[in-house]
Amino acid sequence: MRRIVIIAACVAGIVIFGGIAALGTSSAPPMQQMVHKDIPVASLAPVVQPAPAPTIIPPAATAPVTAPSAP
């Protein structure tokens, strides 16, 4: 009986210690969140896109037109 109590106490201690360690240690510190006063006003303005450049489409090559011949 005494051995079971010691094993259960060790398991409970490991679980509690592991939970505290998992909550207390992180891979990176938390990032600073930007608040409204930190956001530059220029980033809130709409972005104006320039008009697309005109494209030149070459005329399609066509077969020479011949007048119909009379019979």
CA–CA gap between residue 44 and residue 48 (Å, rounded)? 12
Using CA atoms, how far apart are residues 65 and 43, in angstroms rounded to an integer?
A: 59
| Structure confidence at residue 3 (pLDDT) | 93
Q: Cα(19)–Cα(14) distance, rounded to whole angstroms? A: 8
The per-residue pLDDT for range 52-68, each reduced to its tens digit, is: 888 877 777 666 667 66
Cβ-based burial of 8 (10 A; exposed 0-12, middle 13-18, buried ≥19) = exposed
Question: In the prediction, which pLDDT does 56 show?
Answer: 79
Per-residue pLDDT reduced to its tens digit, 6-43: 999 999 999 999 888 887 766 667 777 767 666 666 65
CA dist., res. 64 & res. 67, Å (int): 10
Which pLDDT does position 14 carry in this prediction? 94
Question: Is the pTM for the entire model greater than 0.85?
Answer: no
